[in-house]
Amino acid sequence: MPDDSSPARAKQGFYTRLSHAGRAGTHVHGFVNPPVHRGSTVLYPNMAERKAGGSHRLEQHLIYGVLGGPTHWPLEDVIAEIEGGTRCQIVSSGLSAVTTPLLAYLKAGEHCLMPDSVYGPARGFCDNFLTRMGIATTYYDPCIYAAGIEKLFRPNTTVLYTESPGSHTFEVQDIPALAAVARAKGAKVLMDNTWGIHFFQPFRHGVDVSIQALTKYVVGHSDVLLGSVTTNTQEDWDRVRTTTMQLGQYASPDDCWLALRGVRTMAVRLERQMQSGIEVAQWLATRPEVKQILHPALPGAPGHDIWKRDFTGACSLFGVVFHPHFSQDAVHAMAESLQLFGMGASWGGYESLALPTTGFVTRTAGSGDFGGQMLRLHIGLEDTADLCADLDQGLTVLRSFGG
C-alpha cells in the first residue's frame, strides 16, 4: 500500500484518496486504522535525541503533547488533501479555526474586511475581542464586486475574510475576483470553506488560508467539535503554526480519531446528502408558501452562476424564505411540528435539522433583507419522500396561522 506521500496519490480519484490518505501502512501491525495516541509527556533516552525531536516531521519537534502527535497527523494530512493545500493545523473547534488565523494575521492598528453574511460568532470575535486589541473591522456586502471591495481597502488592511456561501443566507462570493484585489493590495485572503468542503478548492481560487468546521460533514455524526486551518505555502504555514502554538490550541486525540473515522465515509454521505438536499429544495420551490429557496445549486437561485463556475457540488444545507404574510410565530410552530427534522444548531450530521434563522441574522452593511421569515434546513440521510411528507404536514401547520 502506498503511503500518503506516494506520487501516485495525486492522480487518484477523490473517493480513493479519502480511503487511503493518511493511512498508517504497516506502522500499526497491519490494522487498518491508527490507534489513539494520548499523551502529554514524550520520553527520550538522551538529550541528543530529544533535541532532534524524534519525529518523522522534522520541523515538528515532538517533545510535548500540545504540539500534536500521531493521531493528529493523519487527520491533518487528509484535510490538507481534501482542500488541496500543503499543511493543515487541527484546532479545538470550528470557531477556533476562525479566530486563530485572524490573530495570526492581524495586529493592533490594522484593519480587517469581513462579509456581512459571516458566521455569527466570527462577527462577535471581531466586534469584541479584535476591537479591544485595537483592530478595526469593516463589514462588506458579500456579493460586492471587485471595484466595490477595492474602495473599502485602507492602507492598513491586512486581511480580507470570506465565507462562501454564507451559512444562514447562502450568498456565493466571487472569491477569485475579491482575492485578486486583496493580492494587489498585499492583504491575505482567509476563507471559511465549511459549506464547500472539497467542492470548492480554495487555493486554486486565490485563497491563502482555508478554515473548516470539521464538526460538520467531516465528523458527520453530530458528536465532536473540531476545526482545521489549512495553508498552501511554507510562509503561511509558519505563521499559522506559530500562532496556534502560542495560543496553546490543542484538540483531543480521541476527537481526531473520531473525525478520521468520519472522513472515510464523507464522500458517500456528501453525495447522497447533496442529491437529497437538491431534491427537497426543488420540492419546496414548488410550494405556494415559499417565496424563495436559497440553495446555490438550484438554477435561478441567488449565486447559482458563480456556484456553477467555481464549485463541483453542494452540501445539503440551504435556506427557505416564506412569503412575508407568514409570521415568525407561524414558522416557529411549523419547525416545532416537524417529526424527522430536529430543531438545533450545527449541521453536517447524518440527521436532518430545521432551524428558524431570521433572528440570527445580524447585518450592518445593508444586505440583510430577504423579504420574509427564514428557515434553514439541513438534509440528512433519511429518505427524501419521508422528509417531504414531514415538511408537507409542517406547511399545513404554517398555513393554520392564517396569511
Ligand X SMILES: *Cc1c(COP(=O)(O)O)cnc(C)c1O
Binding residues for ligand X (CB under 6 A): 93-95, 98, 119, 163, 167, 192, 194, 213, 215, 225, 227, 346
Q: How far apart are CA 214 and CA 79, in angstroms?
A: 9
CB atoms within 10 A of CB 264: 18
* Closest residue to ligand X, based on beta-carbon distance: 94
Q: How far apart are CA 395 and CA 347, in angstroms?
A: 22
Q: How far is the CB of 230 from ligand X (least distance, A)?
A: 14
Q: How far is the CB of 194 from ligand X (least distance, A)?
A: 4
Q: How far apart are CA 105 and CA 159, in angstroms?
A: 7
Q: How far is the CB of 264 from ligand X (least distance, A)?
A: 20
Q: How far apart are CA 126 and CA 122, in angstroms?
A: 6
Q: How far is the CB of 114 from ligand X (least distance, A)?
A: 13
Angle (CA) 320-345-354 rounded to 5° is 35
Q: How far apart are CA 23 and CA 260, in angstroms?
A: 10
Q: Nearer to ligand X by C-beta: 34 or 165? A: 165
Q: Nearer to ligand X by C-beta: 23 or 244? A: 244
Q: Residues with Cβ < 8 Å from 371, sequence gap 6 or more?
A: 291, 292, 321, 324
Q: How far is the CB of 163 from ligand X (least distance, A)?
A: 6
79: closest CA among 218, 205, 216, 215? 218
CB 227 within 8 A of CB 193: no
Q: Nearer to ligand X by C-beta: 119 or 161? A: 119
Q: Nearer to ligand X by C-beta: 227 or 302? A: 227
Q: Nearer to ligand X by C-beta: 141 or 163? A: 163
CB atoms within 10 A of CB 385: 10
Q: Nearer to ligand X by C-beta: 95 or 375? A: 95
- The 3-state DSSP class for residue 165 equals coil
Q: Which three cell numbers stand for residue 98?
A: 476562525
Rg (CA), the chain: 22
Q: Nearer to ligand X by C-beta: 178 or 355? A: 355
Q: Nearer to ligand X by C-beta: 273 or 395? A: 273
Q: How far is the CB of 251 from ligand X (least distance, A)?
A: 11
Q: How far is the CB of 337 from ligand X (least distance, A)?
A: 25
Structure-derived torsion over alpha carbons of residues 271, 275, 277, 280, reported in degrees to the nearest 10: -160
Q: How far is the CB of 304 from ligand X (least distance, A)?
A: 20
Q: How far apart are CA 291 and CA 6, in angstroms?
A: 50
Q: How far is the CB of 95 from ligand X (least distance, A)?
A: 4
Tabulate helix, strand, coil % of the chain (nearest 5): 40, 15, 45
Q: How far is the CB of 176 from ligand X (least distance, A)?
A: 20
Q: Which three cell numbers stand for residue 309?
A: 463556475
CB 255 within 8 A of CB 240: no
The angle, 0 to 180 degrees and rounded to 10, between the axes of the packed helices 72-83 and 253-263 is: 40
Structure-derived torsion over alpha carbons of residues 250, 238, 43, 253, reported in degrees to the nearest 10: 30
Q: Nearer to ligand X by C-beta: 225 or 361? A: 225
Q: How far is the CB of 101 from ligand X (least distance, A)?
A: 12
Q: Nearer to ligand X by C-beta: 90 or 290? A: 90
Q: Nearer to ligand X by C-beta: 163 or 390? A: 163
